Amino acid sequence: METQPSAASSNLFQTSHSRWLAITHRAPSSHSSFLYGIKSTKIYCRPTCAARIAHRANVVFYDTAEQARRDGFRSCKRCKPDNASFLGEKEEVVARVITLLRVKNAAAMRRGLKGLAQEVGVSPSYLCRAFKTTMGVTVGAYIMEFEREISHGEEESPVQYYENHGLNMVDVGTGLLTPAEIARNSPAPVDGLEQG
């Protein structure tokens, strides 16, 4: 399945300058907005690819994978720009954590950051950074909101909200909710919950 730029985030990356900045900062919001080819290797990548960043003079930008292939570029094996459902390592870790939180009951969520990190096989600091980068909120704040919704008997959890409104993990990291908006709406800390 070929990657197509998302309408919301592609408007942010129309100029060569904004696209280059997205690549150098590996901006999560640019994940599926455009692709870039490296002339010296004839490989095209996503802007969030973890591979070494090429010299600017060797970079050419594309809106679709088809355009890059027509110019003789081949797909990166690391970021898999041809696979629309491919998520990077951080996004995969966050997706596993959210799945754990969705499957487990509220009492199981109280194990905190260390327990979650251990269960998905990463360090607590890596989980904290990956979650904050991808979701725009800390693990602790996400769990508190999730528990609040469960305790109030609300029908839609944060995970269900994202799924029911057609959002995927990449969209979640693009700033649909800013950290300030999430913090403004977050409840008071829950006793015994280790914050991320």
Which residues are the active-site residues? 45, 49, 76, 79
- Residue 94's Cβ-count burial label (10 Å; 0-12, 13-18, 19+) is buried
Residues 6+ positions from 137 with CB-CB distance below 8 Å: 131, 145, 177, 179, 182, 183, 186
C-alpha torsion angle, residues 161, 190, 91, 97 (rounded to 10) = -90
Strands 59-62 and 43-45: unpaired
Per DSSP, the three-state class of 18 is: helix
CB–CB of 40/57 below 8 Å?
A: no
Tell me the C-alpha distance between 190 and 68, whole Å.
Answer: 50
Which residues on adjacent β-strands are paired with residue 59?
Answer: 38
The H-assigned helical ranges of the chain are 7-10, 16-25, 65-70, 89-103, 106-109, 112-120, 124-135, 139-151, 158-164, 169-172, 179-185
Both tokens assigned to 76: 């990166």
